[in-house]
């Protein structure tokens, strides 16, 4: 009896700790969100930032200049919103992949969605498409990649999850080769620099149309994952255990992978290749809130949004020339992941 009470008490403390961590991260993200409007080469006081943002909904007296309003609403707001959206979606996708495949090295690009998006974007640039066309091509080829992966994985023998992972590696390699060929034949004066810059990942020039384009597939991927996070917990027990509890593992895995793919495809399409967010953030969140997906998935979203927003602030302010955000995430993520691997209490 006492053991059962202690167990319940322990679960309660664990849940309470997870909720406190989540609340603290939300508060930190809110502060960082507002601070990001102040950071930049054009100075806008935080009081004016708040008034400009509230002025969209409330009839406030205009104490700000037209330039301040343009910088806050047309330049910084789309970029900050996109950084939060992309960061949260990549972290959520990485957490979902790691939980479903029971693989600590699983990341949003493990099934080739990022490679397909890179090929689509490179092809669009080669064909002379404008920014909207590049984004659309990246998204479509990302979805095509996952369709090929599932088609190949369903026709192979053996464990389904392993077959899908292997198919992802092969298809990803195929599209990476295609991207390399496009870079080889691209015009070195115009097309090649544009392709190379896109592949490095950047939120520079983010517009409201980019936010609107990414919002729908991101919602399609996010809402079901959050609703299914209790069932994902059961799936982590293994195929046989989940089946005995009445969970159709094949359908659930397909639903989770499709949702995570929507998140990855939409993120890469509007931001280019941004690595390490979906690999490092889930492990760090597990250290804070544990392996329970009920708390792990929302926490990963908030921390991922804050991490990418912080890195984006650094990318546009560290030097006179903006640093592609994909470079900074690798510089920060790789050493941090090595630190996680070499700790005494190995998080992997």
Higher per-residue confidence, 131 vs 299: 299
- Stated as kind and residue range, the H or E segment containing 191 is helix 191-200
Question: Out of 57-61, 139-143, 338-342, which region has the weakest mean confidence (pLDDT)?
Answer: 338-342
Q: How far apart are CA 82 and CA 322, in angstroms?
A: 17
Give the pLDDT score at 183: 95
Please tell me the total count of domains within the chain.
Answer: 1
Any idea what the CATH number is for the domain that residue 124 is in?
1.10.3470.10
Domain encompassing residue 293:
2-342
pTM of the entire structure? 0.90
pLDDT higher than 60, residue 4: no
pLDDT higher than 90, residue 138: yes
Q: Are 149 and 171 spatial neighbours (Cβ–Cβ below 8 Å)?
A: yes
Q: Domain for residue 180, yes or no?
A: yes
Share of the chain above pLDDT 70, in %: 93
Pick the closest to residue 198 from 278, 253, 137 (CA basis): 137
Give the pLDDT score at 254: 85
Nearby residues of 45 by Cβ (< 8 Å), 6 or more positions away? 38
Q: Domain for residue 348, yes or no?
A: no
Give the pLDDT score at 110: 83
Tell me the average pLDDT of the chain. Answer: 87
pLDDT higher than 60, residue 346: no
Q: Are 142 and 179 spatial neighbours (Cβ–Cβ below 8 Å)?
A: no
188-196 mean pLDDT = 92
Q: Domain for residue 347, yes or no?
A: no
Q: Are 62 and 55 spatial neighbours (Cβ–Cβ below 8 Å)?
A: yes
Q: Domain for residue 336, yes or no?
A: yes
pLDDT higher than 70, residue 109: yes
Residue 325 DSSP one-character state: H
Give the pLDDT score at 3: 42
Q: Domain for residue 199, yes or no?
A: yes
Write the DSSP assignment of 117-171 as a string of letters: HHHHHHHHHHTT--HHHHHHHHHHHHHHHHHHHHHHHHTS-S-HHHHHHHHHHHH
Give the tens place of pLDDT for each residue, 9-28.
445 788 888 999 999 999 99
Pick the closest to residue 230 from 256, 261, 258 (CA basis): 256
Q: Domain for residue 28, yes or no?
A: yes
Helix axes 208-227, 293-315, angle to 10 degrees: 160
281-285 mean pLDDT = 92
Give the tens place of pLDDT for each residue, 215-232.
999 999 999 999 998 888
112-135 mean pLDDT = 92
pLDDT higher than 80, residue 5: no
């Amino acid at each position: 009896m006492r053991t059962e009470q202690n167990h319940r008490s322990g679960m309660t403390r664990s849940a309470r700790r997870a909720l406190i961590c989540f609340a603290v991260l939300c508060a930190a993200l809110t502060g960082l969100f507002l601070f990001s409007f102040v950071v930049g080469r054009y100075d806008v006081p935080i009081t004016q930032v708040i008034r400009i943002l509230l002025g969209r909904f409330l009839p406030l007296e205009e104490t700000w200049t037209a330039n301040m309003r343009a910088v806050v609403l047309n330049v910084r707001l789309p970029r900050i919103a996109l950084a939060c959206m992309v960061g949260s979606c990549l972290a959520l996708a990485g957490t979902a992949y790691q939980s479903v495949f029971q693989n600590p090295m699983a990341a949003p690009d493990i099934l080739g969605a990022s490679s397909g998006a890179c090929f689509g974007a490179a092809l669009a640039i080669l064909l002379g498409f404008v920014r909207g066309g590049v984004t659309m091509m990246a998204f479509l080829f990302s979805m095509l990649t996952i369709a090929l992966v599932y088609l190949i994985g369903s026709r192979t023998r053996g464990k389904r999850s392993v077959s899908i992972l292997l198919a992802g590696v092969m298809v990803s390699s195929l599209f990476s080769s295609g991207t390399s060929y496009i870079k080889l034949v691209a015009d070195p004066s115009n097309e090649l620099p544009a392709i190379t810059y896109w592949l490095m990942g950047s939120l520079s020039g983010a517009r409201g149309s980019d936010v609107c384009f990414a919002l729908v597939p991101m919602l399609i991927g996010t809402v079901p994952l959050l609703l299914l996070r209790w069932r994902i917990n059961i799936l982590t027990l293994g195929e046989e255990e989940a089946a005995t509890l009445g969970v159709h593992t094949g359908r659930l895995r397909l639903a989770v992978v499709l949702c995570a793919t929507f998140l990855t495809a939409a993120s890469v399409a509007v931001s280019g290749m941004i690595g390490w967010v979906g690999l490092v953030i889930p492990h760090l969140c597990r250290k804070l809130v544990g392996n329970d997906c009920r708390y792990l998935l929302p926490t990963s979203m908030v921390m991922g949004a804050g991490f990418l927003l912080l890195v984006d602030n650094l990318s546009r302010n560290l030097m006179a020339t903006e640093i592609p955000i994909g470079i900074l995430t690798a510089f920060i993520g790789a050493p941090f992941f090595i630190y996680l691997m070499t700790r005494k209490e190995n998080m992997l």
